Structure formats: C-alpha cells, structure tokens
Amino acid sequence: MRRARRLLTAPSAALAVLVLSSGLSSGCLHPAPYVAPAAPTAETFKEDPLWKAAEPRDEAVRGDWWELYADAELSELERQIDVSNQNLKAAEARFAEARASLRVTRANLYPQVTATPSVAVVQPSGSRGISSFHDVYGDILLPGQVSYEVDAWGRIRGTVNASTALAQASAADLETARLSLHAELAVDYFGLQAVDREKQLLDDAVQSYEQALQLTNNRFQGGIASAADVALAETQLETTRAEAVDVTIQRAELEHAIAALVGQPAPAFSIALSPITALPPDVPAQVPSALLERRPDIAAAERRVAAASAEVGVTKAAWYPILTLSGTAGFEASSFGRLLTSTSTLWSLGPATALVTVFDAGRRHAVTAEAQASYDEAVATYRDTVLSAFREVEDQLATLTILAREAEIQDRATAAAERSLTQATNRYRGGLANYLEVTVAQAVALANERAGVGIELRRVAASVLLLKAAGGGWSPSSLALPPAGGK
C-alpha cells in the first residue's frame, strides 16, 4: 500500500508542477487595473449650502434611519418589512442567485477532478491473432482524471472579476429595494396619520356646524332668521359630514398598502387612529461627494461598470489559445483483492492541448466591440444615476426649504381665518350679518386648517425622501462578499 501511494505520488507531483508553472505564467499578462469612471459632482447643494459635511464624531444616520422620527409604531412596522415583505424576499433571492453564480465561476480557477470506476467481465475471442486464449477474466478499473485550463491570458480571472462585480451590484440592488420599501412605508404611514388629522378636523367641524344649525333653527323659530339661513346651515353641515366619510376611503387604501408592505393580509391588519404630529427631523449634514458612497443604487451602477470592464478583458483574451492540461491516475486489476497493489497502478500525463481559433469571420472583433459598447453604456448609466441622485437631493432640499416658509404663511392664514369666523359668528348673533357670511367664513377656516395638514404631510414626506435620496443608513461595507468557498 505504501509503495502504491509512492507510485501515485509521482504523476500527481508532475501534474502539480505543470499546473503551478502554468499558473505562474498566467501572471505574465495582467489586464489594466480597473478605475471607476469620473462622475459629475458639485461642491455644495444649491438649495441648502449649509448642508455640509459632518465631522467624524457628528451624529449620522446609521441603519434604522426611521428612528429619527421617534414613533414607536412606525419603528415596529419598519422592522416587519425585513421579515415579511415579499418584494424584499424576491430581491434577496436574486442576490443569493448572484452569489451562487459567483461560486460557479470561481470554481473554474481550480482543476476539475473526476472519477469513472468500472467493473467488467470479459471473454476475449480465441480467434484474435494476438491471443489464443479464450478465458473469462474480470477487469476492475478505478481511475481518476484531472483537467485544468491554464488561465494564461486572464480569461477565467476576468470572468470571476465580472461575476464578483455583478454579485456586488446585486447586493446593492437589494439594499436599494430595502431602502425604497422602508421609505414607501414611512410615507404611507405619515399619509395615514395626515388623513386621521383631517378626519379629526372634519369631525370637529361637524360638531361646530351642528351647533350653528341649532342656533339658526332657534333664531328661525324666534322669527329672527330666515328659512334660507336654516337651509344654508344644513347644507354646510351635511356637506362636511360627507367629506368626513369620504376621507375614510383614503385611510383604508393607505392601511391596506401598509399591510402589503409588512407582509400581512389586509383583512387582518389595522392601525389605530393617530393624527399626525411629526415634524421633519434634522437630517445629518453631508457634502455632495458623499452621495457617491452613501447611495446603494450608485454603488450598483458603478459595480456594473466594473463588470463590463472585466468583460472587455475577457473578450480580448479570446484572441489567445485556450491551454488545457490533463492527467489520469488510478488502479486496474482483475479482482478486488489485487486492486490496491503496486502492480495495479496506472497513470498518464497529458494530453496538453491548445485550442486556437484560426478563422471566425470577424466574430471576436464583433464580440469585443459589443463588450466595449456595453461598457460605454454602463458608464453612461452610472453617470446618469449620479446626476439623478443630485437632482433628488436638490428636489427634497428645495421642497423642505420652501414648505418651511409656506407653513409659516399658512399658520398666519389659518389664524386670520379663525378670527374672521369668530367675527362673522358674532356679527350674525348680533343681527349685523346674514348666515352666508358665516358659511363662507366656516368654509375658509376649514380649508385653511386642512391646507395646514397637507403642508405638514408634505414636509414630513420630503424629509423621508431626503433621507432616501441621501442613502438612508446604508454603508458600502455591506458589499463585501464571502471568500472563495463561502456560502
């Protein structure tokens, strides 16, 4: 047995030397190192030049960015997305598929070992010229074959690099999907709270209009008001009641949308009434260039550029021969008892082959041109993604800045409308005005209160979208992939 192992070691060592030497020779050709393409950027954000880089110890968004809103129910719902959202599960499956594809590609860097054991009973022909024997004998064969493609021109490593970049892009796609779903949930949640606030305003208005109708009826019974005033008060009341019912449709739709986002069946899901009280939080400051690191969609686009660059190198390697080494070693005997003896060993080295494409009618030229065009497309897509990121941040910064001023103006308008309603009501009670003046004042006051709620919602939603546009709590370190052989 020891002698058999020594005999088997000789061909194995020889093959290992050939593989090692070929691996060293592959280092002679290295593709040009990948450099990320330049992207358009800016020194500051036009809409908020004070939104600048934070110091290393400053507060920054880390992970659960929705915690900035200090809403326990929102935080609980956001946590359910990572557990139950089906769209996110689909994105996770696509990432797992990309990682598995990478492991398949990495396997090509190593020799492939196969075994084809066989057992046969043979009776040779006695009429063959080389033998007069006609005896039956057994043939037990236990061979192992090793084949290895020498990556002399970097074709395999280029393919591995492309697969690695695509897997990293898939990881960034997963984080982009996660960020979008969390932001969508936050916007829907605050939208539902805004509807609850509107419903509260309408219900309060209905109570106020009921009292106004009672007052008008009393004045009509006393001969002070006309039947037209009563009809007008009743119209105002019933119209507002209808609006109070109508807003519940929007609430139901938002509640059902949130149920789908957290992976719950709509009939079994509900959220208690909770009028909006949130104000836009202070978003940690950044400089424009930080977006290039903070946003997963930008990272995904850049990784696809890297993959396309690697593919260009792979197509160029197609101009060189494909070198393959192979070898066989094993045992062959007529019985199991003699199979593992020194006399039963067998081995061979070779053949070593070189596959050379002599004529392909311009196919390699076309494939290289196609890969280069794909790279150019990926670069353009990357730069467009960067431009879109800056636009989205500028949009939300502008929205927050403008809505902050609008909220101040709207507060003054609401206060003025309330004073106007008080004066109109007093004038009506004193017989100095008809009920139409009161009705108009009521409608204006309610409209201004509802407009204020709308501005509150838009400000909070803009803050959510700004956090999303800034990358949320994502970090590029999450693109790290497991080493070869990892799962």
The mean pLDDT of 35-41, rounded to a whole number, is 85
Q: What is the mean pLDDT of residues 219-242?
A: 92
b/e code 255-277 from CB counts within 10 Å (16+ = b) = bbbbbbbbbbeeeeeebeeeebe
DSSP state of 276: -
What's the one-letter identity of residue 243?
A: E
Q: Which residue has the higher pLDDT, 123 or 374?
A: 374
Residue 16 has pLDDT above 80, yes or no: no
- pLDDT of 452 > 90? The answer is yes
Band of residue 448 on the pLDDT scale cut at 50, 70, 90: very high
pLDDT tops 70 at residue 143: yes
pLDDT band at 141 (very low <50, low <70, confident <90, very high): confident
pLDDT tens column, 256-276: 999 999 999 999 999 999 999
Q: Which residue has the tokens 């084949």?
A: 147
Domains of the chain (ranges, CATH numbers): 1-30+113-150+324-355 (2.20.200.10), 37-109+151-321+364-479 (1.20.1600.10)
pLDDT band at 481 (very low <50, low <70, confident <90, very high): low
- pLDDT of the residue at 287: 60
Element housing 144 (H / E): strand 137-150
Q: Each residue of 166-199: pLDDT tens digit?
A: 999 999 999 999 999 999 999 999 999 999 999 9
Instruction: List helix spans (H) across 65-146.
Output: 72-84, 86-107
Identify the residue whose tokens are 């789908």. Answer: 260
Return the higher-pLDDT residue of 247 and 31.
Answer: 247
Sign of the CA dihedral running 258, 260, 262, 265: positive
Q: Looking at residue 322, what is its pLDDT?
A: 87
pLDDT exceeds cutoff 70 at 129: no
Label residue 411 by pLDDT band (50, 70, 90). very high
- 382 or 15, which is more confident: 382
pLDDT tens by residue, 385-396: 999 998 998 999
Mean pLDDT for the chain? Answer: 85
Residue 36 makes CB contacts below 8 A (sequence gap 6+) with: 302, 305, 306
What is the reported pLDDT for 60?
Answer: 45
User: So what's the pLDDT on residue 62?
Assistant: 53
Greater confidence (252 vs 28) lies with 252
pLDDT of residue 44: 72
63 and 473 Cβ atoms separated by less than 8 Å: yes
**Above 90 in pLDDT, residue 7?**
no
Q: How far apart are CA 390 and CA 395, in angstroms?
A: 8
* pLDDT tens digits for range 276-291: 987 888 766 666 667 6
Who contacts 124 (Cβ-Cβ below 8 Å, separation ≥6)?
131, 133, 134, 135
Query: Residues 428-447: pLDDT tens digits?
Result: 888 888 889 999 999 999 99
Closest CA to 252 of 239, 266, 265, 236: 266
The answer to whether 198 and 240 are in contact (CB under 8 A) is no
Note the pLDDT of residue 151: 86
